[in-house]
Every structure is written in C-alpha cells, then in structure tokens.
Amino acid sequence: MGGTIRSKEEAVAWHGRYGPRAPKEGDPAPDFRLRDASGSRAVRLSDFRGRRPVVLAFGSYT
C-alpha cells in the first residue's frame, strides 16, 4: 500500500494498516535519517539522544 491517498476509503485503509504501528508514550522512537529541503544536510533522530528533546511535526502543504 503506497502512493497518493485518493479517497476517504483509502485513508481509512491506510490507517488500518499503519495506525497500530504508531509508537506510544514510553516506546523507543523509531530512528530515521532524512535530508533537509535543499538536500544538502542530513539529520538522524538518534543523534539528539542524550542532548535535547526533539519535537517531530509531520505534515504537508495541504
């Protein structure tokens, strides 16, 4: 299941599949390595361990 979500039904199905995987309070945060909008700088979530709390704000333009 991937690609653009095209309807409410597809959204419900997506959450049925991935919703249960969402980490809960107390769980280890899944690590990731992402690049910034310019593509030049990478960040790894685990790099902040022992240093600062991290806010993750997921979203899009629409």
Partner 1 sequence: MDLIAAHGNAVELLFIYIREAHPTDGWYMGTHRIRDPLSLEERRSVARKFEESLRGRAGVYVDGMDDAAMKAYAAWPDRLYLVGTDGRIRYAGKRGPSGFKPDELREAIKKETVGRETIERLDVPRATRASPPPGRVTRRQGKARGETRGGRSGRAL
Residues that bind partner 1 (CB under 8 A): 2, 4-8, 10-11, 14-15, 18-30, 32, 34-39, 41, 43, 45-46, 48-62
Q: Dihedral angle at the C-alpha atoms of 15, 20, 26, 32, nearest 10 degrees?
A: -60
Contact 44, 33 (CB under 8 A): yes
Within 8 A by CB and 6+ apart from 37, the residues are none
Could you tell me the smallest distance in angstroms from the CB atom of residue 21 to partner 1?
Answer: 6
CB of 10 to partner 1, least distance (A): 7
- Please state the closest distance from residue 2 (CB atom) to partner 1, in A: 6
